[in-house]
Amino acid sequence: MELKVSVKAPAKINLTLDVLRKRDDGYHEVEMIMTTVDLADRIDLIHLEEDRIVVDVSEGYVPNDERNLAYQAAKILKERYSINKGVSIYITKNIPVAAGLAGGSSDAAATLRGLNELWKLNLSLDELARVGTEIGSDVAFCVYGGTALATGRGEIIKKISSPPPCWVVLAKPPIGVSTAEVYGKLKVNQITHPNTQAMLKAIEEKDFTKICAQLHNVLEEVTFNTYPEVKHIKAQMERFGADGVLMSGSGPTVFGLIQKESRLNRIYNGLRGFCSNVYAVRLISQHHS
């Protein structure tokens, strides 16, 4: 019997984020193109004979109780499939928290994939994604990884081909942004919408220049108004020469897409001058299997 499974939980970025309308159930109807990058948390799942779920996190300020999304993932699977053994979940956080990179959702998704193996449940990714949707809107995407179009409240996932390989510089100013607050401030009838179809076509054609031209996130303006430093980071990244720049999710992380490695260091070092959380990573093209 397997006693330990380790899984990677990669961060995501939004290449587009559109809000179509506010629904009667309080959620927003969205249309987003998301892709994973190789900045990842690590989840170690260790079998416990005792029937309980224990969570331990390398970052002190992330909850280690039932508020942790990885805990919730384990609890749902355990109840649904009547597992009477326990698990110890150790999370090594590398993805910044409350950053717009879906760190918590990715930890939950990785926990679902890992427990599927540890507990030999033989569930398909579609089944795991359905369970994930009960935890949070971004969890389904994180179950599949790769690149996808997400609709509904973000839980309806259509896998698409991957963008051409490139570098991604992520810069996170030292603030945490509440996704609920940003959506709450959004004026849905005053939005300039992204051209999602044009972005899908650009990705399909692997046209890097067109992808950069179509980057658009309707939440940017809301977060920029509340936190001008996020707008400043975007401007700096453009000034240092990134090919395309956008805020991810509800922010505050801003990412730049860069094709030439020779430009990467200049942009990375330039941003490090005034922002302590800067990462140079790559897109991950494959979906999980």
Catalytic residues: 12, 138
Query: Within 13 A of 92's CA, how many CA atoms are on the CB side?
Result: 9
Does 87 contact ligand ATP by CB under 6 A?
Answer: no
User: Is 134 within 8 Å of 31 (Cβ atoms)?
Assistant: no
Q: Which residue is nearest to ligand ATP (CB)?
A: 104
Q: Does residue number 53 form part of the binding site for ligand ATP (CB under 6 A)?
A: no
Binding of ligand ATP by 252 (CB under 6 A): no
Q: How far, in Å, CA of 190 to CA of 140, rounded?
A: 29
138 contributes a contact to ligand ATP by CB under 6 A: yes
Residues 161-200 that bind ligand ATP (CB under 6 A): 179
Kindly give, in sequence order, each residue whose CB lies less than 8 Å from that of residue 105, ignoring residues fewer than 6 positions away. Answer: 69, 132, 135, 136, 137, 138, 139, 141, 142
The type of residue at 216 is H
- Residue written as token pair 């004026």: 187
Contact flag: residue 99 with ligand ATP (CB under 6 A) = yes
Among 7, 30, 34, 62, binds ligand ATP (CB under 6 A): 62
- Residue 245 interacts with ligand ATP (CB under 6 A)? no
Out of 15, 31, 77, 103, the residue judged to bind ligand ATP by CB under 6 A: 103
- Cα-Cα-Cα-Cα torsion 226, 61, 118, 134, nearest 10 degrees, comes to -40
Q: Which of 19, 37, 70, 215 binds ligand ATP (CB under 6 A)?
A: 70
Q: Shortest Cβ distance from residue 261 to ligand ATP (Å)?
A: 27
Asked if 89 interacts with ligand ATP (CB under 6 A), we say: no
